[in-house]
Amino acid sequence: MVEIKKDLLIIGAGPAGLGAALYSKRADLDFEIVDKQMPGGQIMNTEFIENYLGFGQRSGFELIEKFSDHCKGLGAEVKTFCPIALVELVKRGKENFFRCNIAESADHYMVRTIIVASGAYPKMLGLEGEQRLFGRGVSYCATCDGPLYRDKDVAVVGGGDTAVEEALFLAKFAKKVYIIHRRDKLRAVSILQERAFDLENVEIVWNSVLEKIVGEKKVDHILIKNVDDNKIKKIDIQGLFEYVGFGANSALVKGIVKLDANGFIITDKYMRTSCRGIYAAGDVRSTALRQVVTAVADGAVAATSIDKHLRGLI
Ligand code: NAP
């Protein structure tokens, strides 16, 4: 068993974690940044990002490569495939320490501060067939699986930025893309809505919810219900992409820090959580806007606050 002692552990190497790593390095903090897989988090599943100032249109992969290279160039390299399963609070006098257990390993970190930048996961609808047909028509990643649906019919569930953005991507390959939305207005930002309205092979099915995913070995069709008249309609599709929002990857600190009603971590303006020494940044945080730019900024604030905290300034 190895105990790795550090002043700071950054958990997650998406935009928030990498933003934190950059500022931690510049503050000369004794830290490590870990991720359960390769750096990137959710934006690795994004075909293009066009609202990160100064970068024009880039794929999620390209942007993360630039972020990682920047950190690496300063000497902050991500320890990959190092999943932190649980954080335990260890009181030593007045000081808090945190034991961060690595999943399926006896090795652990013992640190004075943590930045939880573990991001969020796509929510499921909880329908029969969702898990059974996952990878056989049901997908949560259009960027990964979109090309498999060339000249086929697919449906996207949801009306937010993610649903519409991914529908636009799928429309490049698929013969027809249905956007199934439970209301009569999309939540997505106007520019995305307009692009979707302009495409001939995108059809928005308003006021409708997914009732059933049908298929034995792969998705064959779906049944949707109109919420106004309860009428059921069958739509033949080969691919189903669900984008009905995200849940927080906050389980590792559940019980130690305060969460909001949806499980996102509550912080103050310094990114401090309710537990002294634990900070949160990015999509896992309870926040009004979840974007690459806000995640990077959260990471910068959290690292700067920790530097001040460790120096007794805040
Ligand atoms: P979101 O904004 O929470 O939207 C989720 C969508 O799913 C909503 O349209 C919602 O309907 C629908 N929905 C939720 N539960 C449902 C259910 N049980 N059955 C049917 N429909 C359901 O999630 P998101 O689109 O993934 O976006 C998450 C965050 O990331 C947002 O802050 C977004 O702005 C950001 N984001 C930004 C970009 C970008 O800037 N390019 C791209 C992707 C995501 P209602 O509208 O009726 O609530």
Ligand 1 neighbourhood includes 243 CB (under 6 angstroms): yes
Summarised one tens digit per residue, pLDDT across range 100-151 is: 999 999 899 999 999 999 999 999 999 988 989 998 999 988 888 888 999 9
Of all protein residues, whose CA lies closest to atom 25 belonging to ligand 1? 160
Task: Fill in the amino acid letter for 247.
Answer: G
Instruction: Select the more confidently predicted residue: 129 or 205.
Output: 205
Q: Count other C-beta atoms under 10 Å from residue 231's C-beta.
A: 10
Q: Mutation test of ligand 1: which of 49, 162, 190 has the most ligand atoms closer than 8 Å to its C-beta? A: 162
* Mean per-residue pLDDT of the chain: 95
The answer to whether 283 is a known catalytic residue is no
Whats the size of the chain, residue-wise? 314
Is pLDDT above 90 for 94?
no
291 ligand 1 Cβ < 6 A: yes
Q: Is the CB of 283 inside a 6 Å radius of any atom of ligand 1?
A: no
Residue 93 has pLDDT above 90, yes or no: no
1, pLDDT greater than 90: no
Say which residue, 146 or 285, is predicted with more confidence: 285
Pocket mutation for ligand 1, best pick of 130, 161, 224 (most atoms within 8 Å of C-beta) = 161
Residue 39: predicted pLDDT:
94
User: Rounded CA gap, 124 and 188, in Å?
Assistant: 19
Q: Can you give the pLDDT at residue 154?
A: 98
Which one of 30, 69, 144, 236 is the catalytic residue?
Answer: 144
Q: What are phi and psi for residue 21, nearest 5 degrees?
A: -65, -40
Residue 286 Cβ < 6 Å to ligand 1: no
Say what the pLDDT of residue 71 is.
Answer: 97
What is the set of domains in the chain, with CATH numbers? Answer: 3-121+246-310 (3.50.50.60), 124-242 (3.50.50.60)
Give catalytic status of residue 141 as yes or no: yes
- Range scoring the smallest mean pLDDT among 92-106, 108-122, 184-198: 92-106
Q: How far is the CA of 165 from the centre of ligand 1 (A)?
A: 11
Residue 184's pLDDT is what? 97
Which pLDDT score is estimated for 63? 95
CA 245 to chain centre: 10
Answer yes or no: is the C-beta of 163 below 6 A from any ligand 1 atom.
yes
pLDDT in tens, 256-269: 999 999 999 999 99
Distance separating alpha carbons of residues 125 and 163, to the nearest angstrom: 14
* pLDDT in the model for residue 153: 98
At 210 the pLDDT is 97
pLDDT digits (tens, 9 = 90+) for 10-63: 999 999 999 999 999 999 999 999 999 999 998 887 878 888 999 998 989 999
Per-residue confidence (pLDDT) for residue 109, from 0 to 100: 97
Q: Kindly give the distance from the C-alpha atom of residue 10 to the centroid of ligand 1, in angstroms, as a whole number.
A: 27
Active site residue 100: no
Average pLDDT over residues 61-73: 96
Q: Residue 152: which residues within 8 A CB-CB, separation 6 or more?
A: 174, 175, 237, 238, 239
Residue 278 has pLDDT above 90, yes or no: yes
For residue 85, the model assigns a pLDDT of 93
Three-state SS at 149: helix
Q: Is 165 near ligand 1, meaning CB less than 6 Å away?
A: yes
